[in-house]
Amino acid sequence: MRIKAKNRLLSYLIGVILVLQISSLGLLIGLFTAMIMIAFCNKSFKKVWQRFYFAIPFFLTIIVLGFFHEHGWQFAIHLSLKFLIIIIFNINLLGNFNENDLILAMKELKIPNLLIVTIFFIFRYHKTFKIEMNKFILARKLRGRRVEKKFSIKEYSVLAESIGAGVVRSIDKSDKVYQAMKLRGLNAETLITGEEE
């Protein structure tokens, strides 16, 4: 039986709060192992690795915080484990959760419209950014340049260039879409009431 979107989102939020409250290192390690096993059973280990790859900058930030925090490396290890558990928990519970499910769940949970609209636009911007990034990478490949799959410091400049170009182009396109929406009389309330009708 398919769990309702509202119940899944509520379970996820409660789970995140509980994970953040855990202070026992042993319990965090056990929970992390359990999440990995569930991801492996659900055949979503590839997704876990992809999310981990993009989370590397956050882990580097956590390591830096470890030098300045009162509890040092103990704090960094705890925070890293909590971060990993939340990522894997997100994949296990909300792996096939699309934006329509999320918006529907937020409306059912009576979350303020302003927050729903903000998240709605984040999804839309993410799609626009992804399209622009794919166009930019394709253009680079057609010109004989490509990003290597293996780790290389030199490739970070290429990646940064791609992301920068994608951000600029996607913001410009998003602004044009927003202005066109305003000219057609579409506003934040229209997005919400239109779904309800």
pLDDT by 10s per residue, the chain, length 197: 356 778 888 888 888 899 989 888 889 999 889 888 887 787 766 777 777 766 777 777 777 777 777 777 788 888 888 888 888 888 877 777 777 788 788 888 888 877 877 777 777 777 777 777 777 777 777 777 655 554 455 555 666 666 676 677 777 776 776 777 677 665 654 444 444 44
Judgement on whether residues 120 and 169 belong to the same structural domain of the protein: yes
Judgement on whether residues 35 and 79 belong to the same structural domain of the protein: yes
Domain residue limits at 69? 5-97
Which segments within the chain are labelled E, that is strand? none
Judgement on whether residues 55 and 128 belong to the same structural domain of the protein: no
Run of H or E residues at 162: helix 153-183
The DSSP secondary structure of 15-65, one letter per residue, reads HHHHHHH---HHHHHHHHHHHHHHHHHTT-HHHHHHHHHHTHHHHHHHHHH
Judgement on whether residues 9 and 81 belong to the same structural domain of the protein: yes
C-alpha span between 38 and 76 (Å, rounded): 25
Judgement on whether residues 10 and 88 belong to the same structural domain of the protein: yes
pLDDT at 7: 84
C-alpha span between 157 and 129 (Å, rounded): 19
pLDDT at 187: 60
Residue 5 burial (C-beta neighbours within 10 Å; 0-12, 13-18, 19+): buried
- Among residues 71, 97, 123, which one ends one of the domains? 97
* Neighbouring C-beta atoms of residue 48, cutoff 10 Å: 20
Question: What is the domain count for the chain?
Answer: 2
Judgement on whether residues 88 and 116 belong to the same structural domain of the protein: no
C-alpha span between 70 and 178 (Å, rounded): 46
- Among residues 97, 125, 144, which one ends one of the domains? 97
The DSSP secondary structure of 114-128, one letter per residue, reads HHHHHHHHHHHHHHH
C-alpha span between 167 and 114 (Å, rounded): 24
Domain presence at residue 102: no
pTM over 0.75: no
Domain presence at residue 107: no
Q: What is the DSSP letter of 3?
A: P
Backbone dihedral angles phi then psi of residue 68, each to the nearest 5 degrees: -105, -15
Domain presence at residue 103: no
Judgement on whether residues 172 and 141 belong to the same structural domain of the protein: yes
Domain presence at residue 105: no
Judgement on whether residues 83 and 124 belong to the same structural domain of the protein: no
